[in-house]
């Protein structure tokens, strides 16, 4: 039997090949050369890349034997995960390979910005000795605000605590008790903006976080603020940041990421109080070695038919065929659950009912957690780190299995208890031989709606005219309704409108909806 073929399309750490072992035929090509990639990928079983190789639908179509694409790093911007999923190709990455490197770079940018390292270095190279001009500030006994207390945010907080800094953090998905255990005071964003002398951003880039730190927020900070963004470009509004720095309304900024990359021409680069690097968060020898070893192990697992914890789209391994179709549905239910809750739940039950309980459904609990944390932490979420993320946030998780399912052949429910004792729930099922996904329950209301890319849920007092009002507001905003379900607990009681729409609903439109129908809650969930 021929050995599986692994194509390495970019320069990777030598430890990558060592971790693969002797059981594979190893080939190399220049993945940045399109012709070389398309010809080289034809008969390979696995493809290993970094960031320069574009793995799109065309490349996947050319790869007749491809089973797994492995990205030796965190980001997946150069891999079309949707096309890979449709082609039945697993995509894996190395979600924790760069967390130490990213945290250290954030600290480096903070120190460099505080001590004017970049302009002082440039001046000295130009033959100028300007000690008085570049007087900086200490980190000691200053307050640093961490925006996003995920794994990288925690590492940054720990390192800055060692500098003698007071650490506060904003993260609605972390419980105050958990933060207190780390010596971090949890605050709302407005408080952080008002109190912070230094600020470091560590959030994922989602529709909710894009522009989170904009002109309105920067208008409330101290003029001495030093802001660092080594997470994702676009979370800090760059024109607003430029204006605040140019006008002296904040002191300095350290940037490793930008809204559009590569970025070589930005007004921010003209300012002496900006230190910038070209997305170097993962660019250390150690991070690259960790990434290479991690994806090599995943490739070995994938090609031997075992469970692949770091798979970002499809699961490999000994999972019953009857259970597999429920994995992507359960991940979506987890993301909807988070959108509905708006905070971290203290207790989460993953309830699986029906015929599939004849099989091992533990993977559905992992899929639920993967979905729950997908949009609220900076790092990539996998089947390995999802339970750790839950434990770090004090979330108790339980898998409930029941062969009885009165209304559906199989039913998956995620039910959680929030800090105030209220409950959030969402249920889904698969319909027909094509396993069509359906949402069938939201917070106790019966619905029947497809979990499309863009969803919204509005709860309000049942009365005439509300559905029409919703339609008019969305129509005026150019948002097309693809599907709508209305449910209520009683005549004149509480009602729920569940919407699937063709495009994301802007925040100001959601606010208009809430005001127009006097909604108790308005939640938008984007699954793209």
Report pLDDT digits (tens) over 381-418: 777 678 888 988 889 999 999 999 989 999 999 999 99
Distance CA 249, CA 231 (A): 23
Least confident piece of the model among 120-124, 446-450, 490-494: 490-494
* From 19-23, 40-44, 182-186, 304-308, the region with the lowest mean pLDDT: 304-308
**What is residue 498's predicted lDDT score, i.e. its pLDDT?**
94
| pLDDT value for 310 | 82
Average pLDDT score, the chain: 92
Query: Of the residues 178, 232, 353, 454, which is catalytic?
Result: 232
Average pLDDT rounded to a whole number, residues 440-458 = 94
**Is 279 designated active site?**
yes
pLDDT of residue 41: 96
- Tens digit of each residue's pLDDT (9 = 90 or more) over 414-442: 999 998 999 999 999 999 888 899 999 99
**Superfamily of the domain at 99-276:** NAD(P)-binding Rossmann-like Domain (3.40.50.720)
Q: Please tell me which residue in 128, 141, 216, 261 is annotated as part of the active site.
A: 261
For the CA atoms of 49, 52, 57, 59, what is the dihedral angle to 10 degrees? Answer: -70
pLDDT for 113:
98
- pLDDT computed for residue 388 by the predictor: 81
Q: Where are the domains of the chain?
A: 1-93+282-318, 99-276, 391-526
β-partners of residue 523 are: 457
Same CATH fold assignment for domains 1-93+282-318 and 99-276: yes
Taking the C-alpha atoms of residue 75 and residue 151, their distance in angstroms, rounded to an integer, is 16
What integer pLDDT is reported at residue 137 of this predicted model? 96
Question: Phi then psi for 7, rounded to 5 degrees?
Answer: -100, 120
> What is the structure's pLDDT at 360?
87
Model confidence band, residue 1 (pLDDT cutoffs 50, 70, 90): low
Average pLDDT over residues 123-146: 95
Q: Cα-Cα-Cα-Cα dihedral of 179, 184, 188, 192, to 10°?
A: -160
Q: Which of 202, 279, 454, 523 is catalytic?
A: 279
Q: Is 232 a catalytic residue?
A: yes
Cβ burial of 158 (10 Å; 0-12, 13-18, 19+) is middle
* Encoded tokens for 509: 């439109």
Task: State whether CATH 3.40.50.300 applies to domain 1-93+282-318.
Answer: no
Residue 314 is predicted with a pLDDT of 62
User: Which residue has 């005071």 as its token pair?
Assistant: 185
Give pLDDT tens digits for 461-502. 999 999 999 999 999 999 999 999 899 888 888 999 999 999
Domain 391-526 has CATH 3.30.70.260: yes
């Amino acid at each position: 039997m021929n050995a599986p073929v692994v194509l390495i399309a970019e320069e990777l750490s030598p430890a990558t090949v060592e971790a693969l072992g002797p059981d594979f035929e190893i080939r190399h090509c220049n993945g940045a050369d399109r012709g070389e990639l398309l010809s080289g990928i034809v008969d390979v079983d696995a493809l290993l890349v970094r960031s320069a190789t574009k793995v799109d639908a065309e490349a996947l179509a050319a790869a007749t034997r491809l089973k797994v694409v492995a990205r030796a790093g965190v980001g997946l911007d150069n891999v079309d995960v949707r096309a890979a999923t449709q082609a039945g190709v697993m995509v894996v990455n190395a979600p924790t390979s760069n967390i130490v490197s990213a945290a250290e770079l954030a600290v480096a940018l903070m120190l460099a910005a505080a001590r004017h390292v970049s302009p002082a270095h440039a001046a000295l190279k130009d033959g100028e000795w300007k000690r008085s001009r570049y007087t900086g500030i200490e980190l000691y006994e200053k307050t640093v605000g961490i925006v996003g207390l995920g794994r990288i945010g925690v590492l940054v907080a720990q390192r800055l605590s060692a500098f003698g800094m007071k650490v506060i953090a904003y993260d609605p998905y972390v419980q105050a008790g958990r933060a207190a255990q780390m010596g971090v005071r949890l605050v709302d964003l407005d408080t952080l903006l008002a109190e912070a002398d230094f600020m470091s951003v560590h959030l994922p880039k989602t529709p909710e976080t894009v522009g989170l730190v904009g002109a309105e927020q920067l208008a409330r900070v101290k003029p001495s603020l030093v802001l660092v963004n080594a997470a994702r470009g676009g979370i800090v509004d760059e024109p607003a940041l430029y204006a605040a720095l140019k006008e002296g309304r904040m002191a300095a900024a350290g940037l490793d990421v930008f809204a559009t990359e590569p970025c070589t021409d930005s007004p921010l680069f003209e300012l002496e109080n900006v230190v910038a690097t070209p997305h170097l968060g993962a660019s250390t020898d150690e991070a690259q070695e960790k990434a290479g070893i991690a994806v090599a192990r995943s490739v070995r697992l994938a090609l031997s038919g075992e469970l692949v914890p770091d798979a970002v789209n499809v699961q490999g391994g000994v999972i019953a065929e009857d259970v597999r179709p429920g994995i992507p549905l359960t991940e979506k239910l987890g993301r909807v659950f988070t959108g509905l809750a708006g905070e971290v739940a203290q207790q989460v039950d993953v309830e699986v009912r029906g015929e599939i309980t004849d099989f091992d459904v533990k993977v559905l609990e992992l899929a639920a957690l993967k979905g729950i944390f997908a949009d609220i932490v900076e790092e990539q979420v996998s089947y390995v780190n999802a339970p750790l993320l839950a434990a770090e946030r004090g979330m108790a998780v339980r898998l409930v299995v029941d062969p009885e399912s009165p209304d559906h052949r199989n039913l998956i429910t995620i039910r959680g208890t929030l800090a105030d004792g209220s409950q959030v729930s969402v249920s889904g099922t698969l319909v027909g031989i094509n396993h069509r996904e359906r949402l069938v329950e939201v917070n106790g209301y019966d619905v029947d709606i497809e979990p499309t890319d863009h969803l919204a849920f509005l709860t309000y007092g049942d009365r005439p005219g509300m559905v029409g009002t919703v339609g008019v507001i969305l129509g005026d905003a150019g948002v097309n309704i693809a599907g709508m379900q209305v449910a209520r607990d009683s005549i004149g009681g509480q009602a729920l409108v569940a919407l699937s729409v063709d495009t994301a609903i802007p925040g100001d439109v959601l606010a208009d909806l809430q005001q127009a129908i006097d909604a108790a809650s308005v939640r938008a969930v984007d699954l793209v």
